[in-house]
Structure 1
Amino acid sequence: MMIRRFAKSEDGAAMVEMTIVSTLLFALTLGFVDFGYAFYQWNAATKAVQIGARLASISDPVATNLTTAGPTTTPGAPVVAGAYGPFACSYSGTIGACTNSGTFDATNFSRIFRGDTAVTNDDACPAITGSQRPGMCHFFPGLRRDNVVITYTATGLGFQTRLGGPVPTITVSLQNRTFQFFFLQGLMGFANINMPSMLSTVTGEDLKTSAPS
C-alpha cells in the first residue's frame, strides 16, 4: 500500500521540473550575453582594421625600404603591378619582420597600433591625452601586436622616380585572434573559435607622419 502510494505521489515534481527548466534558461541567457559580446568584438575588430589602414596610409611605412623599392630605370613610367614586394609586416612574439626582405620599423608600426601615444616594446595601449590620434588598440581592447599584419603591395599605382617613392596599396588585417567567451567557455568549451581574418584595404597617400588625418 505504501509503495503504491509512493509511486503515485507527485510531491516535489514542480521543483524537479523547475530545476531542469531553470538550468536550460540559465544557459540560454548566458549564451545570449556571450554571443552579444562576440558580436561587439566583431564590430570592434572591423573598426580597428579600418583605423589601422587609414593610419598606415598617412604614416611612414613599416617596411622602410618601400620608398626605394620601385623601379627607377624609366622616369615617369608607371610602376606596374608586382614591381616590388609585397611587404607583409607583423610581429612574432616580440620580434617584428617584413616579408621579401623588407626592413621593419617598430616605431612606425607602433604609430599604427597605438596612434600618437607613447611607443613601448610590448602590447600596452596607453591612454589618449589632448589631441593625440587613437590607434587600433583603442578601438579593440585586448588587441596584441602579433594580431596585426600590415601589407604593402604594388598594384600599378604611381610612377617611377616619384618623390616619396611608389604608391602602394595597403592592407591591414588581423590574424590568430579568437573570440573571448566568459560563460560558454566553461560551460560548453567555447574557447578556441577563431575570428575571421578582418581586413581593410586603402591606397597609400603621403606615407609620412606629418600627413593630416
Structure 2
Amino acid sequence: MIRDFAKSEDGATMVEMAIVSTLLFTLVLGFVDFGYALYQWNAATKAVQLGARLASISDPVATALTGAGPTTTPGAPVVAAAYGPFVCKYTGSAGACSNAGAFNAANFSRIFRGDTANTNDNACPAAGTDQRVGMCHFFPGLHRDNVVITYSATGLGYQTRLGGPVPTITVSLQNLTFNFFFLGGLLGFGNITMPSMLSTVTGEDLKSTAP
C-alpha cells in the first residue's frame, strides 16, 4: 500500500500547473506593467514636446526675459550666456525663476493646462473645442511641480530687437517615476525614476496671441 502510494502520480499535473501558472501570471503581469511604463514614457515625451512648443509662442514665465538682453550696441549679436538662464518651476505651491526672473503663474498655467482656466493648478480640465490644450492633457498624471521651463541665451537674436531677445527654451520634467502596480505587489518592485524627457526649441513670438 505504501509502495503503491509512493509510486502514484495522481495530482502531479495539478502541482505542475500551479508552478507553471505562477510563472506565467508573473510574466503576463510583468508585460502589462512594462507596457504601461512605455505608455508613460511616450506620454511624457509628447507632453514636453507640446510644452516646449507652447512656451515658444506664449508670454514667458520669466517676465524679466523681455528686457534681459544687452542693448548697448544696437544690431549686434546677443552672445551666448548674455542673460539668464531663467529656470522656472514650482516648489510646492510657490513658483520661482532663477536669476531674479519674476515668475508669472498665469503664463506657466497656459503652458501646463492650456487656455482653459481652472482654480486647482494641479487639475487638468477638459479641453475646450476652440482652445489650446496643455501638457497635462497629454500626460494626465502630470503635476505642475513636475515641469521645469528654462530660458537661456545661446547666441540667437540681436540687440534692441523689437520683440526682445530670442531665447532657447527647454521644457523638462522632474520628480516623476514609472509606477508599477502588479510587480510592486507581487515581487516588491520599487518605482523607477523617470528621466527628464526634455525638449528644446527656439523662441518664436513670445506672446499668448501668437498662432
Q: Is the structural similarity TM-score above 0.5?
A: yes
Structure 1 consecutive aligned stretches of length 4 or more whose deviation exceeds 3 Å: none
- Partner of 1:186 in structure 2? 185
- Partner of 2:194 in structure 1? 195
Per-residue displacement from partner, 1:113-172 (whole Å, max 9, x unpaired)? 001111434301110122111100000111011111000010001111111210000000
Identity of aligned residues (%): 82
Structure 1 residues without counterparts, runs of 5 or longer: none
Contact 1:70 1:84 in 2 (8 A): yes
Contact 1:179 1:193 in 2 (8 A): yes
Per-residue displacement from partner, 1:180-202 (whole Å, max 9, x unpaired)? 22211211223320111101100
Per-residue displacement from partner, 1:48-89 (whole Å, max 9, x unpaired)? 000000000000000000001111111111110000010111
Structure 2 residues without counterparts, runs of 5 or longer: none
Q: CA RMSD in A?
A: 1.1
Alignment of 1:6-85 (within 5 A): 6-85=5-84
Higher mean alpha-carbon deviation, 197-206 vs 113-122, is at: 113-122
CA–CA distance in structure 2, aligned partners of residues 176 and 192 of structure 1? 12
Specify the code of the residue in structure 2 equivalent to 1:134.
V
- Partner of 2:89 in structure 1? 90
CA–CA distance in structure 2, aligned partners of residues 189 and 105 of structure 1? 42
Specify the code of the residue in structure 2 equivalent to 1:53.
A
CA–CA distance in structure 1, aligned partners of residues 23 and 208 of structure 2? 54
- Partner of 2:204 in structure 1? 205
CA–CA distance in structure 2, aligned partners of residues 190 and 93 of structure 1? 28
| TM-score normalised per structure 1 | 0.96
